[in-house]
């Protein structure tokens, strides 16, 4: 078997999904689909939570979705067959949706552009918890680019000048 790039694997995964825009995802949730936010707890705390979304870290997603797993999420009980995954930018959620397809959850899909696109579309998020400033830190600074800042730039990631 020849080696493939992650870009090729991602393109294949996204080609197998009927991916949803943020507004389509919101409509799907109104129709009974479950939105699963796979962002880290830190990202959710920093950038805000999507109201009604079930928060499951990407690292344990398959175990929380599978009803046969001892660590199945009670929040998903009976809703495992209609999942819309959302991550930060819409990449890791595509790969995760395909892994869930391989477990038999064939209707699982994801959100094009992820949380950054959700924000850019002006869709609702829960207010963020007030952040405490670490000693010596600059107020509002973050070691990672905030989703809000990236959404304001149209979702473009930060790039270093060389």
The tokens for 4 are 């493939």
Residues in the chain with pLDDT values less than 70: 128-162
DSSP letter (8 states) at residue 33 = -
Which has the closest alpha carbon to 88: 60, 50, 52?
A: 50
Give pTM, 2 decimals: 0.81
What pLDDT is stored for residue 139 in this prediction? 45
Rounded distance between C-alpha atoms, residue 59 and residue 61, angstroms: 6
Q: Could you count the other beta carbons within 10 Å of the beta carbon of residue 159?
A: 6
Residue 37 three-state SS: strand
What pLDDT is stored for residue 145 in this prediction? 53
What pLDDT is stored for residue 1 in this prediction? 74
Rounded distance between C-alpha atoms, residue 135 and residue 121, angstroms: 35
Domains and CATH numbers, the chain: 6-152 (3.40.250.10)
What pLDDT is stored for residue 143 in this prediction? 43
Q: Which residue in this structure is represented by tokens 């599978």?
A: 66
């Amino acid at each position: 078997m020849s080696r493939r790039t992650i870009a090729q694997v991602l393109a294949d995964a996204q080609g197998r999904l009927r991916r949803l825009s943020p507004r389509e995802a919101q409509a799907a949730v109104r129709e009974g689909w479950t939105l699963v936010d796979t962002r880290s707890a830190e990202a959710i705390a920093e950038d805000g939570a999507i109201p009604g979304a079930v928060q499951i870290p990407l690292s344990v997603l398959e175990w929380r979705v599978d009803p046969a797993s001892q660590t199945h999420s009670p929040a998903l009980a009976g809703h495992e067959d209609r999942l819309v995954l959302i991550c930060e930018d819409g990449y890791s959620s595509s790969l995760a949706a395909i892994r869930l397809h391989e477990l038999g959850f064939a209707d699982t899909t994801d959100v094009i552009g992820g949380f950054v696109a959700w924000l850019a579309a002006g869709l609702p998020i829960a207010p963020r918890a007030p952040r405490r400033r670490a000693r010596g830190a600059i107020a509002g600074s973050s070691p990672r680019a905030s989703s809000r800042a990236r959404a304001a730039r149209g979702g473009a990631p930060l790039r270093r000048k060389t």
